[in-house]
Structure 1
Amino acid sequence: MSALPLTRRSIFAQAWPIMLGQTTVPLVGIVDTAVIGRTGDAAALAGVALGTTIINFLFWSFGFLRMGMTGMTAQAQGAGDAQEVDAMLMRGVVIGAALGAVLLALQLLLIPLAFRVLDGGADVDAQAKTFVAARMWGAPASLAVFAINGWLLGLGRSGAALALQIVMNLINIGLDILFVWHFDMGVRGVGYGTACAEWTALAVGLLMVAPHLRGVADRARLFHRAAMKRLFAVNADIMIRTVALLLMFVWVTNAGARLGTNVLAANQVLMQAISLVAFVLDGFAFTAESRVGHAIGARSRPDLIRAIRLTSEFSFVCAALFGVLLMVAGAPAIRFLVTNQDVRDIAIAALPLVAILPLLGTPAWLLDGIFIGATGGRALRNAAILATALYIATDLILRPFGLWGLWAAFLISYLYRAAALGAYMPGLLRGLSDPIARTVPKTPES
């Protein structure tokens, strides 16, 4: 397998399709917000917010299917093991579909349990339950697509990942508008639209990777004991990390619900802005995953350091630009998305805090990418648990400050996570010997 060049040009060439594809992920949430928000029904909008939090918790608890897949695939590619690259894909798709089927089968147990933890009031809960029940039908497809996306990103095939993301999200947007505005299905239409889009994406993704799936003929290699043991060891830590961070977002949602329906609805609008920034900047974090994993698979310390430096440069420049954009365009966007004046006023009041989030969040997002690429599950797990615990303590301390206290605690949580992961960086660098001393030739654009 050919080495990936480490230049600014190649980093950006790999990152921009991911960034473009990632913009369509929060774009779906923005469209959901606009489709429901322009009905003027604050309870429906808050119900989508609450329901989305529950679905994200259930589905992204298995986010290791994307993250673990990227790091391990990149390392297999860096080591030149083409057979293991293909086997990783098959393992991921099979495990993802199976776990999604389990979620779907257990929905009658999981949904009531979730609403025992999160309580938005009778009207909001009724809307949220309708949304969640519809979304659950896409669970097997959604988790299998996680694996396909992670595999594509691990190989640096960001163009293919972009195509898959765009197909899923454009279908999602179109069906949401059709089901809600044309068929008047309300929040149920938003849920079914997403579920249908996830199954379509799985079909397209399987067509994309079919030659690699057909090439996995050695079943003994596919379920090799050592490979499966490593897969579950790495992914168990990433799963704990993901659950800890999801608990943080559940706490944020619950904190908003505690302040009333209008605050919960306003936070849903602001979270779309945060999602847009985070997903786009993840283009460089995902590139870091691939490049760091490739460097570690090739046992090249110089490549590791260079990959970290180049992706960091791009990340911080883009974060500063996003901060300015949120300050300039945030209020007009909120006025367009939401017709309820009380919800508008609350969202605009918190906008200054949201605008500084890109710069505060970038170190945490980038370090996530570095340690995912390095399959540093222990560091990811410990940092997430510590950051979540410190965030909850901070939120409780700042609770008397209302909305501003809620958002200040959330922003500080990113600093906690970055600091915790940063403490593991010296060990990561020391742990990679470079006996081959392989280097990438420098070029003018680097």
Structure 2
Amino acid sequence: MDNWNKEILRLAIPSIISNVTVPLLGLVDLAVVGHIGNEAYISAIAVGSMIFNVMYWLLGFLRMGTSGMTSQACGRQDGQECVDILVRTLIIGVGIGLLFIVAQRGIEWGMLRLMNTPEGSWQFVAAYFRIVIWGAPAMLGLYGLTGWFIGMQDTRTPMVVAVLQNVVNILASLFFVFVFNWKISGVAGGTVLAQWTGFIVSLFAVYRRMKKEGELELVTGQNICAGLQMTFRHILTVKSGWGEFFRVNKDIFLRTLCLVAVNFFFTSAGGKQGAMMLAVNTLLMTLFTLFSYMMDGFAYAGEALSGKFYGARDMAGLRITVRRLFGFGIIMVLMFTAVYVFGGVGFLHLLTDDTAVVTAARPYLFWAYLIPVAGMAAFVLDGVFIGLTATKGMLFSTAVAMVTFFAVYYLLWGSFGNNALWIAFLSFLFMRGVASVLWARRYSTIF
């Protein structure tokens, strides 16, 4: 294996591990309350976790935008700009988190109704929300820190932090619930403690990196306090950095809204067909989720490496990186397609012992086989676009794909039923890739 592939895998593998641990925070909470003995608690955790997933997903630009801008500054070996970007994203992320705390009652009122919270779970969801909301500054600050580490070509630190968060969450939740008998409040308290632990540990990792002499010193020739004071003065007086920050993140935010629209509609359209079809679509979507965890790891590697080479004006290195990423993407397509074709039914049985659901899912399993080939290109080029801060390409491709999704669905729904929903979703994935390639061809340096 040559150095190019080793470098991609060095960045991709820790990112894949981090991605897999992300949903564990919610699953741990669900598992703990599942042993309390009250179904209202389980419903409360499910709804409460979904509320925060929606809130934080919409603010994912804090990670992605930071990653692209930092990787370019890293490629230029501009240490002061790396610090500027970090402080800028922390100001925005922690600031939004504090605003969430201030406006928590209004957010609570709106989200509980938006999520159609069952009446019996209302008080428990509210109790969970009012505690977990205090972790918002930590979570949103951690988004920026994670993006910054990726841009600095370091995916190992976010992986360690993600694993640590889950360990803290498990231990704290068990202790608060079964020792202090805090029930739903104990689960929420464990989540908040894990979030702040991850944030503080990440800040400490930044501090250690700033002090360490090596390949890229972030504050050269100064102590940390003096360097940060200079950084604050600099970022508050230089408007160009803020303009670039908001330009990049605006496109990513609008692109996220398109993704949210498609995903929410997919779930809603399945639910309108009844509980059985909703269960079928939910099970089959786990096959997409698994593939996305793997491909996101390579996308993160693409963010780090493409941004670094672009910042260093090493266009040959950028082209080689993109080609190698597509090479890994093709390997993933072949591997996941084979696993789904030969082991898809067995995997569904692992997820549920309800044979009726598995039987109902079989006619639609073919569409899940096509997920890897339909979605690979979009994942790879999303990472490249973030690294180049070519976020208009991401917005363009996702908007075109969203329009395609709704057009295909409404054209086919009357004749094909739930098959139309899956054809529309695959069209969405495929069109994202096609539109991304067309946009990328505008950059002669990519291909």
* Normalised-by-shorter TM-score class: 0.7 to 0.9
Call closer, same or farther: CA 1:111–1:256 in 2, change over 3 Å. farther
- Within 2, Cα distance between the matches of 1:431 and 1:275? 28
Q: What amino acid is the match of 1:217?
A: Q
Could you report, residue by residue, the CA deviation over 1:340-371 in whole angstroms, capped at 9, with x for unpaired residues?
Answer: 55555545654442343122211111111111
Please tell me whether the aligned partners of residues 364 and 414 of structure 1 are also in contact (alpha carbons under 8 angstroms): yes
Q: What amino acid is the match of 2:60?
A: G
| Corresponding residue to 1:70 among 64, 67, 70 | 67
User: What secondary structure sits across from 1:428 in the alignment?
Assistant: coil
1:333-352 matches, within 5 Å, as 333-338=347-352, 342-346=356-360, 350-352=364-366
The alignment status of 1:422 with 2:437, answered yes or no, reads yes
The higher relative CO (CA closer than 8 Å, separation ≥ 6) is in 1
| Corresponding residue to 2:424 among 398, 409, 416 | 409
- Within 2, Cα distance between the matches of 1:242 and 1:431? 24
Structure 1 residue 287: deviation in Å?
0.6
Please tell me whether the aligned partners of residues 404 and 427 of structure 2 are also in contact (alpha carbons under 8 angstroms): no
1:158-237 matches, within 5 Å, as 158-172=155-169, 193-211=190-208, 212=210, 214=225, 215-218=227-230, 219-223=232-236, 224-237=238-251
Query: 2:214: which partner in 1?
Result: none
Could you report, residue by residue, the CA deviation over 1:42-83 in whole angstroms, capped at 9, with x for unpaired residues?
Answer: 998787666555433321211111000010000001111011
How many corresponding residue pairs? Answer: 428
1:67-146 matches, within 5 Å, as 67-114=64-111, 117=114, 119=116, 135-146=132-143
Could you report, residue by residue, the CA deviation over 1:173-195 in whole angstroms, capped at 9, with x for unpaired residues?
Answer: 55667778999988877665544
- Within 2, Cα distance between the matches of 1:348 and 1:137? 43
Query: 1:357: which partner in 2?
Result: 371
Could you report, residue by residue, the CA deviation over 1:152-185 in whole angstroms, capped at 9, with x for unpaired residues?
Answer: 0001111112111221234445566777899998
User: What secondary structure sits across from 1:80 in the alignment?
Assistant: coil
Q: What amino acid is the match of 1:107?
A: Q
Structure 1 residue 123: deviation in Å?
7.1
Please tell me whether the aligned partners of residues 318 and 446 of structure 2 are also in contact (alpha carbons under 8 angstroms): no
Identity within the alignment, %: 29
Query: 2:306: which partner in 1?
Result: 292
- Within 1, Cα distance between the matches of 2:360 and 2:39? 13
Please tell me whether the aligned partners of residues 26 and 276 of structure 1 are also in contact (alpha carbons under 8 angstroms): no
Could you report, residue by residue, the CA deviation over 1:251-291 in whole angstroms, capped at 9, with x for unpaired residues?
Answer: 22222332234444454444444323212221111111111
| Corresponding residue to 1:367 among 381, 393, 406 | 381
- Considering only CA atoms, is the larger Rg found in Structure 1 or Structure 2? 2
- Within 1, Cα distance between the matches of 2:405 and 2:79? 42
- Within 2, Cα distance between the matches of 1:82 and 1:336? 49
Call closer, same or farther: CA 1:203–1:279 in 2, change over 3 Å. same
User: What secondary structure sits across from 1:7 in the alignment?
Assistant: helix
| Corresponding residue to 1:12 among 9, 14, 37 | 9
Structure 1 residue 304: deviation in Å?
1.4
- Within 1, Cα distance between the matches of 2:88 and 2:51? 27
The alignment status of 1:254 with 2:251, answered yes or no, reads no
| Corresponding residue to 1:274 among 288, 308, 311 | 288
User: What secondary structure sits across from 2:53 in the alignment?
Assistant: helix
Greater Cα shift, 94-103 or 18-27: 18-27
Please tell me whether the aligned partners of residues 245 and 384 of structure 1 are also in contact (alpha carbons under 8 angstroms): yes
- Within 2, Cα distance between the matches of 1:150 and 1:253? 29
Cα RMSD of the aligned pairs, angstroms, is 3.6
User: What secondary structure sits across from 1:290 in the alignment?
Assistant: helix
Please tell me whether the aligned partners of residues 176 and 189 of structure 1 are also in contact (alpha carbons under 8 angstroms): yes
Structure 1 residue 210: deviation in Å?
1.9
| Corresponding residue to 2:394 among 357, 380, 385 | 380
Call closer, same or farther: CA 1:422–1:428 in 2, change over 3 Å. same
**Where in structure 2 are there 5+ consecutive unaligned residues?**
211-223
Q: What is the TM-score when the length of structure 2 is the normalising length? A: 0.82
Query: 1:441: which partner in 2?
Result: none
Call closer, same or farther: CA 1:384–1:107 in 2, change over 3 Å. farther
User: What secondary structure sits across from 1:378 in the alignment?
Assistant: helix
Query: 1:437: which partner in 2?
Result: none
Call closer, same or farther: CA 1:163–1:189 in 2, change over 3 Å. same
Call closer, same or farther: CA 1:29–1:407 in 2, change over 3 Å. farther
Q: What amino acid is the match of 2:138?
A: A
Call closer, same or farther: CA 1:96–1:187 in 2, change over 3 Å. same
- Within 2, Cα distance between the matches of 1:281 and 1:260? 32
Q: What is the TM-score when the length of structure 1 is the normalising length? A: 0.82
